[in-house]
Amino acid sequence: MTQVSGSWRRAAAGARLLGADGEVASTIFAEMSALAARTGALNLGQGFPDEDGPEEVLEAAREAIAAGRNQYPPGRGDPDLLQAIAEHQRRFYGIEVDPGSEAIVTAGATEALTATLLALLDGPDDEVVVFEPFYDAYAAAVGLAGARLVPVRLRWPDFQPDLDELDRAVTDRTRIILVNDPHNPTGAVFSAGVRERIVELADRHGAIIVTDEVYEHLSLDEPHVPIASLDGAAQRTVTISSGGKTFRTTGWKVGWVTAPQDLVTAVLTVKQYLTYSGGAPFQPAIARGLRLSDAFFSGLAGDMRAKRDLLGTGLRAAGFDVSRPAGSYFTVADASPLGADDAAQLCRELPDRAGVVAVPLSAFVTEEHAREYRSLVRFAACKRREMLEEAAARLATLSA
Ligand code: PMP
Ligand code: GLN
């Protein structure tokens, strides 16, 4: 137990990691990976790939280290990576970004999100509308900023928000509508109607839209549509992404922000005092990645589509009800047909019962709504085929 006072408590409490005894838990991802390591279970918990990404990208990082690119890169980011980000936004989405003033590089999407939320929120009167379940870092950063989280629920099995609930959530107190699309942990891809309503509401109430698009190249059934590409959206949208998922380099932590100049300046002001800059040799490597051929990007989505289907089939055969994710690394399954109404309990037992690790959805929701997600489990499909097949075989023993 620690008695140290400070805003760390708000971060931990925001992410529901602060116990009644003042003890701080580790994140659900770290906890589940440690459980997998301890038990030797297959780790379908933490969302990281178990294979390397494209060789050209890895080689570019080696070349950059050998060429001495080992000192601080510019605070805004390597100019060639900024250029590659602008090219990427034009090539895939027709969005024009000025690389000199409308983009910055960050230490992963996590720093981009934290810097953006800290930069744009100004205390307890500011509200952030967020789609629940949500990635744990959102609540922690909103907590650090001392602002208020307003959750809009995504409900099993399609996880699209109810538009009336969304209308009620966004008010003149809303400073930010935070959108993660494709969505972790549900795998949802928002419908065109939902995207349009978000822009309409932001416009009506003077809110800023912050998008987390780290799974942009893992939209599995249709091309990804960034909110910034919608009519009237660009001037009020901060778009965040990262190379981690796209190039299977989650440990490199190269992310970026694109937004109108005044918003980028605000985010950069905070970002420069968080890390200033980082990842010097990885920045040119991610620039190489962003310029890879269309075949690479479609191959990535095709590979994940096949893995989603494989995992879904395995989970259904094991007796779960399974949602059909349209994007991301993840599939959500309902464990109640197996007689397991408490997914948190099931996830603690799963390594012993079946040699598999997964994450309960209750880790991504507010206390208030935890019951609604109680029997749901998130499985990560970003693993080798053999591993998914083995996991399916092991899970089949659950209902045997
Ligand atoms: N947002 C979402 C929705 C994520 O799932 C993740 C992590 N995997 C991140 C942000 C963090 O991205 P990064 O590793 O680039 O910081
Ligand atoms: N984004 C990854 C997931 O959702 C984990 C990242 C982390 O460990 N913080 O599993």
Summarised one tens digit per residue, pLDDT across range 141-162 is 999 999 999 999 999 999 999 9
Beta carbon of 300 within 6 Å of any ligand 1 atom: no
> Mean of the pLDDT values across residues 164-183?
98
Q: How confident is the model at residue 12 (pLDDT cuts 50, 70, 90)?
A: confident
Query: What residues pair up with 43 in beta bridges, in sequence order?
Result: 357
Q: What is the pLDDT of residue 165?
A: 98
Q: For the segment 239-288, what is each residue's pLDDT rounded down to a tens digit?
A: 999 999 999 999 999 999 999 999 999 999 999 999 999 999 999 999 99
- Ligand 1 neighbourhood includes 212 CB (under 6 angstroms): yes
Which residues are near ligand 2 (CB < 6 Å)? 27, 29, 46-47, 184
Sign, CA torsion 233/220/89/117: positive
When pLDDT is averaged across residues 87-114 and rounded to a whole number, the result is 98
| Residue 120 pLDDT | 98
Ligand 1 within 6 A of CB of 116 = no
Cβ–Cβ < 8 Å for 73, 104 = no
Which residue ranges form the domains of the chain, and what is each CATH number? 6-52+295-399 (3.90.1150.10), 55-290 (3.40.640.10)
pLDDT at 13 over 90: no
With bands split at pLDDT 50, 70 and 90, how would you rate the model's confidence at 22? confident
Residue 264 corresponds to which tokens in the numbers above? 């980028």
Written as six digits, the tokens of 173 are: 């107190």
Q: Evaluate the omega torsion of the peptide bond into residue 337 and state whether it is cis, within 30 degrees of 0.
A: no
Tell me the mean pLDDT in the region 128-141: 96
| Cα 253 to Cα 8: distance, rounded to the nearest angstrom | 22
pLDDT digits (tens, 9 = 90+) for 200-226: 999 999 999 999 999 999 999 999 999
Instruction: Please identify, by atom number, the ligand 2 atom nearest to the C-alpha of residue 46.
Output: 10
109 Cα: distance to centroid of ligand 1 (angstroms): 6
- Average pLDDT (11-40) is 83
Task: Please give the pLDDT value at position 1.
Answer: 56
For 174, 305, 314, 360, 373, the CA distances from 324, given in Å and listed in that order, are 31, 11, 13, 17, 16
Candidate of 28, 117, 135, 256 to mutate for ligand 1, largest count of ligand atoms within 8 Å of Cβ: 135
- pLDDT exceeds cutoff 90 at 2: no
Give me the mean pLDDT over the 311-319 stretch: 97
* pTM for the whole structure: 0.97
Output the pLDDT for position 213: 99
Of 1-15, 27-41, 212-226, minimum mean pLDDT range: 1-15
Q: Which mutation among 27, 43, 48 tests ligand 2's pocket best, with the greatest number of atoms within 8 A of CB?
A: 48
Q: Which ligand has the minimum distance to the alpha carbon of residue 183?
A: 1
Does pLDDT of 371 surpass 90? yes
pLDDT of residue 189: 98
Percent of the chain surpassing pLDDT 90: 90
Sign of the alpha-carbon torsion through 264, 265, 268, 269: negative
What's the mean pLDDT in 117-139? 97
Mean model confidence pLDDT for the chain? 95
| Cα 46 to ligand 2 centroid, rounded to whole Å | 5
Arithmetic mean of pLDDT, 317-336: 97
